[in-house]
């Protein structure tokens, strides 16, 4: 089994770390875990509750962890290329599903940037424009879907797995299988490959 998580935002008081821990507890640690960005939040708490620390420990128990930093944890991009037997840090990954389909895996914030926006930690905070944040949230999902599907098509992928927009999705856009892992601030969802097909699952 391969599990894909994004936008857990650990370190943020709104992160549903308790739900995440319960979810991870029910998945085998002899499997591979893809962390598809925004795993840690730049708005960190002074003292992390135990559940936030436990969630990180449980993630690291997986046999193989692929970490693809997003815009909120972009500082980890400083170690892109790190690759050990246990953990790899990369900007994007190529994943071959158990059904033999080829997926591009990346956080998704690059599709904002491709449209001329600079989306990173503190960007909205520094502008002081709350209305711009709301405007971006409203349109980001469209940008990510459009940009990711276009890139997957151009590069010959069967599908793409991303995060960033906090909008869980499992659908075909044309011939491209579009999967968004969702988030752990509200939806508590993940993508899983159990062999027959790729599924979007929710925490119980």
Q: H or E element: which one contains 89? A: strand 87-89
Helix (H, G, I), strand (E, B) or coil at 128: coil
Q: What pTM value is reported for the model?
A: 0.86
Question: What φ, ψ does residue 10 adopt, rounded to 5°?
Answer: -65, 140
Closest CA to 113 of 95, 89, 91, 90: 91
Residue 120 clears pLDDT 60, i.e. is over it: no
- C-alpha 113/C-alpha 143 separation (Å) is 10
Averaged over 40-64, what is the pLDDT?
89
| pLDDT band, residue 137 (cuts 50/70/90) | low
Tell me the domain boundaries of the chain: 2-202
Structure tokens at 138: 């409203």
Distances in Å between the alpha carbon of 94 and those of 40, 43, 68, 126?
23, 30, 12, 34
Q: What is the pLDDT of residue 118?
A: 43
Closest CA to 121 of 48, 41, 52: 41
- C-alpha 102/C-alpha 130 separation (Å) is 39
Say if domain 2-202 classifies as CATH 3.60.21.10.
Answer: yes
Residue 29 clears pLDDT 90, i.e. is over it: no
């Amino acid at each position: 089994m391969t599990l894909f998580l994004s936008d857990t935002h650990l370190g943020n008081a709104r992160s549903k770390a308790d739900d995440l821990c319960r979810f991870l507890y029910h998945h085998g640690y002899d499997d591979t875990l893809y962390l598809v960005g925004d795993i840690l939040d730049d708005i960190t708490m002074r003292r992390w509750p135990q559940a936030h620390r436990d969630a990180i420990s449980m993630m690291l128990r997986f046999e193989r962890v692929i970490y693809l930093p997003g815009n909120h944890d972009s500082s980890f991009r400083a170690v892109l290329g790190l690759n050990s037997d246990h953990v790899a840090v990369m900007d994007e990954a190529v994943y071959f599903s158990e059904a033999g389909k080829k997926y591009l895996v990346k956080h998704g914030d690059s599709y904002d940037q491709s449209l001329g926006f600079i989306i990173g930690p503190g960007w909205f905070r520094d502008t002081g424009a709350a209305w711009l944040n709301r405007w971006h949230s409203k349109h980001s999902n469209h940008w990510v879907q459009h940009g990711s599907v276009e890139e997957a098509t151009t590069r010959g992928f069967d599908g793409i797995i991303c995060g960033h927009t906090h909008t869980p999705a499992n659908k075909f856009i044309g011939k491209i299988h579009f999967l968004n892992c969702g988030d752990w601030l509200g939806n508590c969802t993940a993508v899983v490959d159990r062999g027959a097909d790729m599924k979007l699952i929710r925490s119980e």
